[in-house]
Amino acid sequence: MRVVLDTNVLLSAILFGGTPGRILAAWRAGQLELVISPDIVEEYFEIGERLSKRYSDVDVQPILALIVQNAIIVPSNPLLEDVCDDPDDDKFLACALTASTEIVVSGDKHLRAVSGHEGISVLTPRQFADQFLIEPGC
């Protein structure tokens, strides 16, 4: 299964674990494939750098580099028109459309509000985990 993770989900997984961390662990275990675009990579590193300054005990850059190296990278094909109230979020939908991926995992209200656009489901980390991840020990 291929998924697109928004920046907050990925960085929460790296910094804090929890449900986003379970999603990242499923990727590491080969249970899913992460799909990204150059625009998403740029945002991952930009926000990751800012967070590394705030949480100085964690350097997210090497982890992001590993993720980028092992993810499926598709071209940044912008949408023909803005879909989200926050146009910066459109890159996640565009990536999913380019890769024929049906799931974006995000807690962002702007992305969640457009779930169903062009057949793309925008699921919260909890919704994704409940529907697609096997509980440890099961």
Q: Does 24 map to a domain?
A: yes
Q: Does 100 map to a domain?
A: yes
Task: Say which CATH number the domain at 56 has.
Answer: 3.40.50.1010
| Cross-sheet strand order for the sheet of 33-36 | 72-73, 33-36, 2-5, 103-105, 121-123
Domain count, the chain: 1
Q: What is the rounded CA–CA span in Å between residue 3 and residue 39?
A: 16
Tokens of 84: 């989200």
Measured distance between the N- and C-terminal CA atoms of the chain, rounded to whole angstroms: 20
Could you list the residue range(s) of the whole structural domain that residue 64 is in? 2-132
pTM of the model: 0.92
The tens-digit pLDDT sequence of the chain (138 residues) is 999 999 999 999 999 999 999 999 999 999 999 999 999 999 999 999 998 888 888 888 999 999 999 999 999 988 888 888 888 999 999 999 999 999 999 999 999 999 999 999 999 999 999 999 976 554
Q: Does 10 map to a domain?
A: yes
